[in-house]
Structure 1
């Protein structure tokens, strides 16, 4: 059996295919942290994830259905901030989040960003492992209990691509 073809598309936050992403992500964050996370996910307006503001929201589609997604927004003139990295619960452990992060990095680089920043929560060890494996530098002491730190910040400097 061959693996299904995956398609990456860029969509606005208002695209109906984004709703399941944000709903499941909000439910998962709410379960992990014990408070409703849906308002936090709705905190940034659509414009922060669309040009010309410098952001992007990408969905990875399999047979036309979203299986993973993520976004970035402008943090400053040279830095994009990754947000909303998500893989549908039925499609995890396939490297889809790694693919989304790589696609977001490429798109950020195409738009002139030279640095990526992000934070993840202390109760998301799989996200922490994803960023460490992807070459992100932790901006916190990795030997300390994450619960005592709070949000875990990371950064990665993008390589300059030849024009």
Structure 2
């Protein structure tokens, strides 16, 4: 497997995000339009792609959220590659990149309809926090954070 640092201009990332959006539309149902408006990828400068045999199989991104915090966005692993530790690998690469950038904390939002994502983040050391920003009063949202250490 190969881990690649790139941006949202990467075509492989765009294709994976389209698959992610399809899956989330199914899971979120009528709530999808609300979430989708906050998940644009036009200006993501810190994207991780995981490739195997020249095929992109997973992705994730971080974007600035305040002075010393990055928000984890667009985490996705193709269905046929799940349960192999690839999401953990992707998240770890994002956190390492955040540390390289001098970031002290990562935050994220996921949904109650994504129990496997919640389990991944908890196992990776993320703790539930009060919902922030646009997710503040959203019943389905679960917000989490992790302090990063060298």
Q: Do they superpose with TM above 0.5?
A: yes
**Aligned residues of 1:136 and 1:154 also touching (Cα < 8 A):** yes
2:26 to 24, 31, 35: 31
Q: Closer, same or farther in 2 for the Cα pair 1:89/1:41, shift >3 Å?
A: farther
**What secondary structure sits across from 2:65 in the alignment?**
strand
Q: Distance in 1 between matches of 2:8 and 2:92?
A: 20
Per-residue deviation at 1:41?
A: 6.6
> Within 5 A, what are the aligned runs for 1:42-121?
43-46=40-43, 49-50=44-45, 56-121=46-111
Which of the pair has more CA radius of gyration? Answer: 1
User: Structure 1 regions of 5+ residues with no counterpart?
Assistant: 1-5, 51-55, 141-147
Per-residue deviation at 1:15?
A: 1.4
Q: What do residues 106-127 of structure 1 show as CA deviations (whole Å, max 9, x unaligned)?
A: 0000000000000101100000
**Aligned residues of 2:2 and 2:51 also touching (Cα < 8 A):** yes
**Aligned residues of 2:60 and 2:76 also touching (Cα < 8 A):** yes
Per-residue deviation at 1:89?
A: 1.1
- Scaled by the length of structure 1, what TM-score is found? 0.80
Q: What do residues 4-23 of structure 1 show as CA deviations (whole Å, max 9, x unaligned)?
A: xx111112212111122111
Per-residue deviation at 1:33?
A: 1.0
Greater Cα offset, 129-138 or 30-39: 30-39
Q: What do residues 62-100 of structure 1 show as CA deviations (whole Å, max 9, x unaligned)?
A: 011111110000001110100001001111110100000
1:7 aligns with 2:2: yes
User: Structure 2 regions of 5+ residues with no counterpart?
Assistant: 131-137
**What secondary structure sits across from 1:76 in the alignment?**
coil
**Aligned residues of 2:9 and 2:42 also touching (Cα < 8 A):** no
